Structure 1
Amino acid sequence: DSEITLLPPEPTISLVFSTPSVTNSTLFVDARPIVRISTTDAAGDHTTICDANTKELLVDIQHHTLRSDTVTFTHHFDGKPLKLKEWLKEETLGDGSPAWAMETSVGSLVWRPDVSFRLAVIVGGETAQPIAWAHLQTHSTPLTLVISRGTQAIRDEIVASFIVLEQRMRMSEKGYAKADGWFAVNRTVL
């Protein structure tokens, strides 16, 4: 006889977005503001993540036209700018789906698409339990990023990478929707 021992899931913290936007929003934990995400220019080239209470800059994300995009963490990587494409590397999982490997101050993590969570962060293999994941906004619930309590030390890195990836996904989906609309209008019936 073998028995399966189920372990209780790691306690989590829900970071609730004040708006559907990932580039201009405040994240709340238990109705308390934790961080503010601001994108001040219309092109979305400069996004900052600041402590909502102290106003301290935590993360600075810069999208450049002619140079590599950068991300700078005040409390990680000695505060030096990192090339976004080197910090958040796109790769392909064994099943052919895209993933993004990220070096954090505590080790390697991987973001992957997930049918239940849209995006999930895992440590280790493809079947590992997620340590962070997103719940998209519905008519009754706001956009939420859920993180395991053990990830507090890298919360800034998880939030920044989620913002970058979710924004990319939204832009890609928007492009597909526009293309589909064009094809629908210009389609001919044989």
Structure 2
Amino acid sequence: MESFLELELPPTSSKSRSYYFDRNSAINATLYCNGQPSYTIMTNKSGTRTDVCDIATQSVVATIKRREVFADTIKFPARNNGASVAINKWLRPITHSPYHAEPSILLVTDVGNFVWESDAAHRLALYAEEDHHVPVAFFSRNKQPQDAIVLVVKSSAEEMVEDVIVSFIILEQRLRMKEKRRQNGMMPPRHTFFTSCASGRPLLAPHCIPTHLRVI
């Protein structure tokens, strides 16, 4: 079987960019765009911390923390003086909306508000807050490698691509954990919201790997 790097990925159109995950995991993967590695997602063994790194700048652009007692948090080091905020203030459940079906999740960004939905057309799709017709980003499946994740981001959402990628991996992992609970017929421990992937960790430049994740 061909490896991911041996596959010829289709080019990205000028109207959208496709981010190909190199494995079927939302918490440990390398994302490729136009055949080049763009981002890495790394989660520690305990599943309590996930870091998203921009390979071009060799910097961590977002850190997700899963906590047992207090609210889970998200931190963008380049924003808000690097302060962490509760995820439920950044990704807010929608209870009433004339535009979007329930359940939906409101994504609050610097360029406006958007809504993530899961429907018959898309497993996950992101829409402008007052538009339910054309998504600005959506989840699709690539035929090779088997079950690889492909996140399509329209040009209109490129200026907030980090918000899109980070919110997507949070919600996709939630869906996977929900599906796992259904399959097992039981409720898993709370910490399994972010679980380590058995397929291993993606490669990352050593100086880009957060200190607490480095193997010495």
The two structures share one fold, judged by TM-score above 0.5: yes
The question of 1:55 aligning with 2:61 is answered no
The equivalent position to 1:104 in structure 2, one of 109, 119, 127, is: 109
What is the CA deviation profile of residues 45-97 of structure 1, one whole-angstrom value per residue up to 9, with x for unaligned ones?
Answer: 10000012332010000001111110011233443211001110112455753
2:16·2:155 contact (CA, 8 Å) conserved in 1? yes
2:101·2:117 contact (CA, 8 Å) conserved in 1? no
Structure 1 residues 169 and 141: CA distance shift in structure 2, 3 A: closer
Equivalence map 1:110-125=2 (5 Å) = 110-125=115-130
**1:136 corresponding residue in structure 2:** 141
2:22·2:32 contact (CA, 8 Å) conserved in 1? yes
Segments of structure 1 that go 5 or more residues without pairing to the other structure are: 1-8, 181-190
**2:82 corresponding residue in structure 1:** 79
2:122·2:139 contact (CA, 8 Å) conserved in 1? yes
**1:28 corresponding residue in structure 2:** 32
Point out the structure with max Rg over C-alpha: 1
**2:3 corresponding residue in structure 1:** none
Cα distance in 2, alignment partners of residues 53 and 124 from structure 1: 31
> How large is the Cα RMSD of the aligned pairs?
2.2
Equivalence map 1:149-160=2 (5 Å) = 149-160=155-166
User: Which structure carries more relative contact order (alpha carbon 8 Å, separation 6+)?
Assistant: 2
Structure 1 residues 100 and 26: CA distance shift in structure 2, 3 A: same
Segments of structure 2 that go 5 or more residues without pairing to the other structure are: 1-12, 187-216
The equivalent position to 2:151 in structure 1, one of 131, 141, 145, is: 145
3-state DSSP class of the match of 1:114? coil
**1:187 corresponding residue in structure 2:** none
Q: Which amino acid counterpart does residue 61 of structure 2 have in structure 1?
A: L
3-state DSSP class of the match of 1:143? strand
Cα distance in 1, alignment partners of residues 105 and 165 from structure 2: 14
- Give 1 or 2: higher strand fraction: 1
Q: After the TM superposition, which of the residue ranges 161-170 and 68-77 deviates more from structure 2? A: 68-77
**2:91 corresponding residue in structure 1:** 88
- Residue identity over aligned pairs, in percent, reads 27
Following TM superposition, by how much is the alpha carbon of 1:127 offset from its aligned partner in structure 2, in angstroms? 2.1
